[in-house]
Each structure stands twice: as C-alpha cells, then as structure tokens.
Structure 1
Amino acid sequence: MTNQALIIDDEPDILELLDITLTRMGISADRAENLSVARKLLATNRYQLCLTDMRLPDGNGIELVKEIQHQHPQTPVVVFTAHGNMDTAIEAMKAGAYDFITKPVDLEQLRQLVTSAVAVTTTPTAVNVQESLIKGQSPAIVNLREKIIKLARSQAPVFISGESGSGKELVARSIHLQGPRAQAPFVAVNCGAIPAELVESEFFGHRKGSFTGAQKDKPGLFQAAHGGTLFLDEVADLPLDMQVKLLRAIQEKAIRAIGDAEETKIDVRILSASHKDLTEAIANGEFRADLYYRINVIDAPVPPLRQRGEDIVLLAEYFLEQFAQDYNDEKAPLTENAKSALLNYDFPGNVRELHNILERAYTLCDGHVIDALDLQLNVLPNSAHLGAAPGPGAQPEPRSNTATGYDESIPLDDYLSDIERDILLNTLDKYRWNRTLAAKALGITFRSLRYRLKKLGLDNDEQ
C-alpha cells in the first residue's frame, strides 16, 4: 500500500516542493493551504504523515497538532518553523508533534525525517521490549510504561529524572527500542566520566592534526549515534562551555568536529538523565537554563524502588534466576523472612543496590537458601569495623600506612583486588587448581570462590 501524507502550507511554492519530494520517495500527498481544508481532508482520509507550517491564514499549526494528537494519535506530525525559532518548535513538540524542521527546508534533512516518521506507522513495535527491560507491575511502573509508548512515537527530547540506581538508562533504551530508530545505534554516555579537556572531542570528534596527539580523524558520539539515539546520562555534570556547544548542536541539528571548517548535519534523538535537581543547578549557576528547556521538552520521572511495593520481590526473584544462569547453578530461593526484610528496607541505592545485595547473598549464603540475615540489610558500609567499638570519648588508634604496606598512590579497590588475586592464585596453585579443595582451604563456599574468580577475571577453565 502506498503511504499517504497531508501537507499544509499557504505558500504554493512550498507545497509544490514538498509534493515533488514526497512523490519521489513513493509517498502520495494531498495539499491544503489552510486549516479548514486540512480538517476536511483529515475527516475523510487516513494519513501516515502530516507536514504543516506553524503560521496559517486561519489559525496556528499547534492547534492542528493537538487535534491530530487527539483524533488521529497514530499519525506523526512534522511542523515547519522559522529558522532559529526554537521556542515554537518546543511548544509544538510538547503539544505532540513528532519533530520539527526549519525553513528554508534542507531536502536531505527532510527526507531523513520523513523516512523516520513514516516508520512510526509502518514498523511493528518490538514485542515485549518493556517487559524485558523494565520489570514490575506496580501502578508507578504501569504508568511509566504507558508514557514510554507515547514518548517512543515522538522525536522530542526527553529528560529522564530519578534517583541514582533507579533504572534511568533502561527507560532510555526502552524508548529507543520501541521507536522508529530501534534498528539504529543507541549510544549511552556518562557525562561526568569524561575529562573536561576531552569532552568536546568525545562528543563532536576531531580532525587529524587539530591538536597535539590527534594523529588521525576520530568520529565523536554524535556521529556514532547518527540515525539513532544519544543518551546523555548525568547531563548536569557537563562543563558550562560544553553546555553551550551542546545547545547549538540540538538547535541546529548540526555539529562541527574540532579542526573541521564546516558543520555536519546530524540525525540524532537526544535523551538525557540526571539524579540531580536541574532547577537547583540552574539557580546555583551550574547549568544553563536555555539548555534545560531544550532537553526537558518532556519529563519522564522514574519512581524510586521504595515506592514500587511488591515489585521488589519480583525483581529479586528475577535477579536470582539470572545469577543461577550466569553461574550455571541452581536458583537460591528467598525465605519469607528475607522477602519481608526486603519489603521493609528503604533501598537508598534503588534497583542497583537490590542487585548488589542479592548477588552478595547468593554468593555467600549457606544451603542454597537466602534468609534475612544473608541480606545484611542493617550493615552500613561506613559502620564496618574490626574489633570492639571504642568507648565514649575514646579516639581510635591511628594506623600507619607503612605498617599495612598500603601505597596511597594506588586506588584502594585496585590494591585490595591485587591482594585477593594473589591469595586465590597461590591457594589454587597449592591445590593444583582443584577448586573444591581450594575453597575449603580458604573457608569459603565453592560458589563464593567461583564468584570471586569471575569478578577478578580468573575464571578461565584452561588455567
């Protein structure tokens, strides 16, 4: 079946240009010079796409966007805006527009946008995408899933808010996988993990010889995500000067690599997230208000785990099944006391903390059953100590780094991992890599030994 589009503009030359362009793409088009004609056509035809100008003789294009969103929610609407008028574009996308394009029209950009928009109505949504990524049946998660379905059908920038560990990247992936860009790249980047002096090169790429050490051309994250989705996690951590350049890239849909004389058009959907309150960051001068309004066209809050009720047990059971598969072992069930303890715990670290708690309990529990004590929910990391606690007013005895042999130039986690690795290798060598005897000698379970070997990259059976 031939796809059909409705194009609305009061300029005959624009209508002619759009009609010719769509026809060459195999899309038949009906023309309307105002809202009245457009409404009559919409009442008698089913369109796979609508292209409309914002300023029309008998009204505003946003009125039509809202009407189509209500009466024909399956039809994506692309709006034309004047160059640089991002406020109008944002208003249109908040009203439900699929995307926008500026005048004068770039035909290559128009063709890419039309292809993407038509795919919304012609490509089946991936089956069970949300269920495979976002587990749970709580009202908060059901509402989030419903919102994701709507967000996937738009190209509007989405800001995913929520506490650390609540699953913001899973929401971003679900939006991507249920939209027309599902077969294109999904590129996720933690903005706070990139050194400030490298952030521009990482985002936009660079040309050979553009700075010391640039020995060859290097594409950036925008180029890697071309045609797909770029997820900016912890976007609040971007340096202010980079925020300006990101804003321009979003507005102009173009980037300039370091050392390049010309801009390159990009086709990327922007999703972003942060556990920080961006309005507070704006008040503190740490985040640009204009960038905030560009990336937060639509807000998608992710509920913390403590507000998800029985989802906690559902997620726990899912994680335990995954651990059993990963270690080729039987599943360790939760006792009723363990389930009750999980339901009454606050989970400040959310789903990520639940995963870590269960992995530790699965590894160290006795008898392949996880009880409340195995979860260690009342043990806070900062409260762990050796020996008896000092009495009131007593000062802890200072420990010498020289006495412990710890070199402060080495990160503590790396230092402890090296010690654990040496102990495991020496014990395994002693027992000729008989893991059962080695685990017994170390006073740990066989499962715990296997977990530690995997964590340290020593689980090669050929060793």
Structure 2
Amino acid sequence: MKGLIFEDEKTVRNVLRRILQKEGIKAEDFESGKDAIEIIKKEKPDFIFLDIGLKDSNGLDILKQITILEESPYVIIISGHTEYKYLIEAMKLGAYDYITKPFDIERIKKVIEELKQCVKSKIISSVPEEEIIGKSPAMKEVFKMVGRAGATKEPVLLIGETGTGKEVIANLIHKYSNRADKPFIAINTAAIPSGLIESELFGYEKGAFTGADKSKEGKFLQANGGTLFLDEISEMPIEAQTKLLRAIQEMEITPLGSNKKYKIDVRIIAATNKDLVKLVAEGKFREDLFYRLSVIEIKIPPLRERKEDIPDLIELFTQKALAQYNLKKGGFTPESIRYLMDYPFPGNVRELKNIVFKLIALYRERPITPDLLPANLKGEEEQINDWKSLVVSEIRKMLNKRRKNIYIKLVEDLEEIIIREVLKYTEGNISEASKYLGIHRNTLSKKIKDFGL
C-alpha cells in the first residue's frame, strides 16, 4: 500500500508519515499542493491525507480534481476548520473521511485500518447490464414460462409477492414476443381512484364528464398492437372488471362519452400479489375475468427462495448505482454479501435494490464492508432482543426460586462479563480498556481484583 500526505504543517506531516510507516505503508509527504494532481497521477497512491487549508492551494479544489481521475485514490481530509459547511462539502465531493485538527492519533490509526480493508477489497463492478438476473432453479422455471408465453398472444397472469419483479417479467415477455417493436404500456390499477379507472383504460371524449375539457386516448389505444400490463389487478373495482372483460373478449373499446367503437389488438399481462381464487370465492373478483386473465399463469418466487441469485443481483444493482451516481468504483465485499444472503428480504428484490442504492449513495466509492450494513441486515437487532429475553427469563427463574438480592447478583454477573470481554479485546491493556468501558483506570483495577480476573 502507498499513501501520500499533502500538509503544510511540518509537525503534522511527520506524525502522519511515522504512523503510516509503522503500519507498513509506504508514505511520502508534500508541503505544497501546487502539483498535487501530477504527483498523484505519477505515484498512483491507494489513499491520500489532504489538508484543506494548504498555503498555496485549496484542498477542496484538489479533491474535485482527484475524484475525476481514471483511478482515483481514497481521500481523507484533515483540516483546522470545524464549521460543518466544510465537512458537508468535502463529503459531497467524495471524501472518504474528514478529520479535524488537532487530531487523535488513535482515530488516524482506525482510519488507516479501515483503508487497508478497503484497498484489500476494492471492487469494480463488471457485470453486464441485463433486465433481470436469475440462475436459480426457481427462476429458470420462470424463464421457461416466459419463453412459452412469448410464443403466444394469450393473456398472462403474474403471481408473486410485492417487490418480486412482476413488471420486469412482464417487460421480458413483451421483449420476447412478436410485439417487441410495439408499445408496452403499464398501469397500476391500485394507484388510480375507482372513479377514474375506466377513463384511464378506455379514454374519453371532450365533455364526457366535468373537467373533461379535451379528449384523451386511453391505455388500450396507446398499447394497440403491443402489450398492456395491468399491475395489482386485484384492486380493480367490480364495475370496471365487467368492462375490462368485455374489452378483452371482443377486442373492442368505446371511450367515455363516445359512440364510436375502436377495434384493438392488445396482449394483456396482469399481475397480483393476492390470491385471486380466494377473492373470487368472496365475490370481490369476477370469476369469468379471472379465467380470462389466467390462460397462462407464471408464479414469481420470493427472493428468499432464490438466494443463490442474490450476489448477481447485488452486482447488477451496484453497476446501476455506480452509473447513476457517476462513480468509478465501489460495491459490496464478499463478507457483506454473505450477510445479505442470510437476510430474508421481506421486501424481495425491490428491498435489495433499495439497500444497494442507499448504501452506495451514502458511502460512494468506499467498499461496503459488514460494519456499514444496517443492524437488522446482520441480525443484530434479533441478537439484542434475544439477550434481553435471556435476562428476563433469568429474572423470572430467580423469582420462582424465591431468590434474594436479584439486582446485585445480576448486575455483578453482567459487570464481570463486560469487563472480561473488553480486557480480551484490549489484550489486557487496562488503560485502553478503561476508555472503552468509560470508567477510571483505578476503578477498573479494583474490579479486576474483586472478580479475580
């Protein structure tokens, strides 16, 4: 690893250089930022410590130039400015971190350790951009059905939980049909007020109702020759279902307020996350419409049933996120991906995409290591709850046994466990352990003696 330091204070340069060298990192330091970009291009460092207030240069201007380099290093801003506007601007421009002077040497060491992990696991996404990812057996079955559906013009019903990618599959069916060069029109029936659903589907003439100051073409006519995707079909009002059925059967529509009939050629793909058979039994969905829509039925598996697809999906969304945020590198480390593969994803593919975009938006070109993942993705919230449950269980056991001094006993036991674990972490360093524990060194020494550690 190689690090560069651009800092006009000699003492600070010397301290940073010594820390880096002790960590086994090749380090060079410079008092001026005048030729910083040329030096960076020549030296190709893994990371840079950069002062904002160099005597001959503005560190933020240098940072802007660094971020557009083909191979840009990580940049840690060091500054005497404590105002939040400098910190915000630096992070906005892509700085890895912002450390104010006078800095804590332990903080510098921690950042260096993080940088080692980042450089070790630097990721550049190279997965080709596709509409959908799926190597799992469950998705292979879906693709088989997509191929069969593409060869016909019969209606298709897509069934799957929210966020499984039903519209993506609908697009895929359209792409592999003989209508691929014609329109693909999507409409979410749940998002349209019940009184407007018919006008959206069939269109209307000027004056058809209050507020109709001009004619409007409906989705059926817009999709003529192509595919009409009706998402969340279960939410369509019964009255509209009747007119939809007639339009599908006759391939003919009449706009509201018009006497003119239009012949149409539209392939219908509908989607639902509900049990339509149950809705039919409850009288909430027309049975004849259900049978008309479900000539071909495709069930989209939830993400928890196709976990082997998660790494490829992460790479796909990573590539899209990097392109959207104009970043050159970044992504998830193998350790983080393993955590994500253990997560049940109640929100399915949509939730995974949201997580990828959110974390890359936050951490930019910094590799997403496990410590950056939200606690719920790592199961830590469950662990905390389990720990609390165990304490509650222990208290109840002690009460049932009529034990006395419960408070003192549990607090002492917990205190001993905490101190023992912190001492293990600090390898017996009492001064360091006292800082982590937030108690005085003398107090900790007494506790060690009392517990016989």
TM-score range, shorter chain: 0.5 to 0.7
Q: How far apart, CA to CA, are the structure 1 residues paired with 2:262 and 2:364?
A: 59
Q: Partner residue of 2:121?
A: none
Any unmatched runs of 5+ in structure 2?
Answer: 1-127, 382-387, 393-453
Q: Partner residue of 1:133?
A: 131
Q: Which has the higher contact order (CA 8 A, sep 6+)?
A: 2
> How do 1:254-403 and structure 2 match up within 5 A?
254-365=252-363, 368-376=366-374, 378=376
> How do 1:169-208 and structure 2 match up within 5 A?
169-208=167-206
Name the SS for the 1:232 alignment partner. strand
Pair 1:242–1:367, CA change in 2 (3 A):
closer
Name the SS for the 1:163 alignment partner. coil
Given that residues 186 and 229 in structure 1 are in contact (C-alpha distance below 8 angstroms), is that contact kept between their aligned partners in structure 2?
Answer: yes
Q: Partner residue of 1:228?
A: 226
Deviation at 1:131, TM superposition (A): 8.1
Pair 1:139–1:131, CA change in 2 (3 A):
farther
The root-mean-square deviation of aligned C-alpha atoms, in Å, is 2.3
Name the SS for the 1:378 alignment partner. helix
Deviation at 1:321, TM superposition (A): 1.4
Given that residues 321 and 331 in structure 1 are in contact (C-alpha distance below 8 angstroms), is that contact kept between their aligned partners in structure 2?
Answer: no
Name the SS for the 1:187 alignment partner. strand
Deviations 1:384-422 (A, max 9, x none): xxxxx9xx9xxxxxxxxxxxxxxxxxxxxxxxxxxxxxx
Q: Partner residue of 1:119?
A: none
Deviation at 1:198, TM superposition (A): 0.9
Deviations 1:415-445 (A, max 9, x none): xxxxxxxxxxxxxxxxxxxxxxxxxxxxxxx
Name the SS for the 2:142 alignment partner. helix
Q: Partner residue of 1:209?
A: 207
Q: Does 2:162 correspond to 1:164?
A: yes
Given that residues 345 and 377 in structure 1 are in contact (C-alpha distance below 8 angstroms), is that contact kept between their aligned partners in structure 2?
Answer: no
Any unmatched runs of 5+ in structure 1?
Answer: 1-129, 384-388, 393-463
Overall identity of the aligned pairs, in %: 45
Q: Partner residue of 2:49?
A: none
Q: Partner residue of 2:241?
A: 243
Q: How far apart, CA to CA, are the structure 2 residues paired with 1:240 and 1:197?
A: 12
Q: Count the aligned residue pairs.
A: 255
Name the SS for the 1:196 alignment partner. coil
Name the SS for the 1:175 alignment partner. helix
TM-score normalised per structure 1: 0.53
Deviation at 1:304, TM superposition (A): 0.9
> How do 1:107-122 and structure 2 match up within 5 A?
none
Deviation at 1:366, TM superposition (A): 7.8
Q: How far apart, CA to CA, are the structure 1 residues paired with 2:344 and 2:166?
A: 19
TM-score normalised per structure 2: 0.54
Deviation at 1:167, TM superposition (A): 0.6
Q: Partner residue of 2:408?
A: none
Q: How far apart, CA to CA, are the structure 2 residues paired with 1:131 and 1:337?
A: 23
Please identify the structure whose Cα radius of gyration is greater.
2
Name the SS for the 1:270 alignment partner. strand
> How do 1:33-112 and structure 2 match up within 5 A?
none
Q: How far apart, CA to CA, are the structure 2 residues paired with 1:154 and 1:356?
A: 34
Given that residues 330 and 364 in structure 2 are in contact (C-alpha distance below 8 angstroms), is that contact kept between their aligned partners in structure 1?
Answer: no
Pair 1:268–1:366, CA change in 2 (3 A):
closer
Q: How far apart, CA to CA, are the structure 1 residues paired with 2:337 and 2:206?
A: 57
Deviations 1:27-47 (A, max 9, x none): xxxxxxxxxxxxxxxxxxxxx
